[in-house]
Homo-oligomer: A and B are copies of this chain.
Amino acid sequence: MKDDTPWLDEQENRIWRAFLQVSGRINAQLSESLKTTTGLTMDDYEVLVHLSESESHRLRMTELSHRLLHSQSRLTQRIDRLSKRGYVCREKCPDDGRGTFAVLTPAGMQVIKDAAPHHVKDVRAALIDLIEPKERPLVADVLERLATQARDRDLG
């Protein structure tokens, strides 16, 4: 590689290290808390959230795997487990014989309703409450820009 990339300076390095640390630790804290209060993993919870927010409480497998940033086979197996527990089920897609919908069941809806308040409390404690209100607009802007640019790169 050509050496046209400067090393990270002090401030850049602080940002990168802290980012790594924070994303690891928030994930660990929320996972831990979700597991003990509801028996769900973070991955389980995110599946249920995405379904609960979708039209007819259903999403195509591929669409869901993209949203979760999971491989298709990983999603296949997670849906297997969630449906064994009765929280989701599969339905064939009527328009496309290859397709399958993951569908939230009433039991799944109930589980996520029960879990949500705990989870919100944890998100506040781990993230939101630690950002001063006056800092929030900038933080939201920066994070959304990062999310958008990253997504654009994936697609483009």
Report which A residues bind B (CB closer than 8 A). 1, 3, 5, 7-8, 11-12, 14-19, 21-29, 69, 117-118, 120-121, 123-124, 126-128, 130-131, 135-140, 142-147, 149-151, 153-154
CB <8 Å contact, A138 and B140: no
Q: A146: which B residues are within 8 A, CB to CB?
A: 18, 22, 26, 127, 130-131
- The number of times this chain is found in the oligomer is 2
Given A19-B143, A135-B138, A1 contacting B150 (CB threshold 8 A) = no
Q: A27: which B residues are within 8 A, CB to CB?
A: 23
CB <8 Å contact, A25 and B147: yes
Q: A137: which B residues are within 8 A, CB to CB?
A: 11
**A18 touches which of B3, B123, B138, B140 (Cβ 8 Å):** B140
CB distance from A33 to the nearest CB of B (A): 11
State A131–B7 Cα separation when bound (angstroms).
16
CB <8 Å contact, B140 and A11: yes
CB <8 Å contact, B127 and A16: yes
CB <8 Å contact, B25 and A154: yes
**A127 touches which of B19, B21, B69 (Cβ 8 Å):** B19
CB <8 Å contact, B120 and A15: no
**A150 touches which of B121, B126, B128, B145 (Cβ 8 Å):** B126
